[in-house]
Amino acid sequence: QVQLVESGGGLVQAGGSLRLSCAASGRTFNSYAMGWFRQAPGKEREFVAAISWSGRDTYYADSVKGRFTISRDNAKNTAYLQMKSLKPEDTAVYYCAADSSLGKVTTPTPSYWPSYWGQGTQVTVSS
């Protein structure tokens, strides 16, 4: 089992920045690929970014490419999402996810879904 706890959400003006953290406990953190997803009211949960277990490979949704940066510190069992140039359309609950399969956090499907999820943290961007 892996337990994930997100933090760092909040209210920010458009153009501002936030850094989300995802602290993991349980089994070996560096065995898992990590991903960030978000869900806005009335919309489906969508992929935002992912990082391989080593941190060497990163992946981003087109909507956040160039503005968001995913990283991880395996010594601290923590993954991060640095968000810059935030827009009102970035408003959502942000979730971190983990799985031993990189594909499940980069291109999930209903039958191929990350095994572990955090409880989510709210990000609100005002215009």
Average pLDDT, the chain: 94
pLDDT for res 51: 96
pLDDT for res 29: 83
**pLDDT tens string 2-20:** 899 999 999 999 999 999 9
Res 85 pLDDT > 90: yes
**pLDDT tens string 35-49:** 999 999 999 999 999
Element containing residue 11 per DSSP (H, E): strand 10-13
* CA 87 to the chain's CA centroid: 17
Residues 28/48, Cβ–Cβ less than 8 Å: no
CA distance between the termini of the chain: 40
**pLDDT tens string 21-35:** 999 997 688 889 999
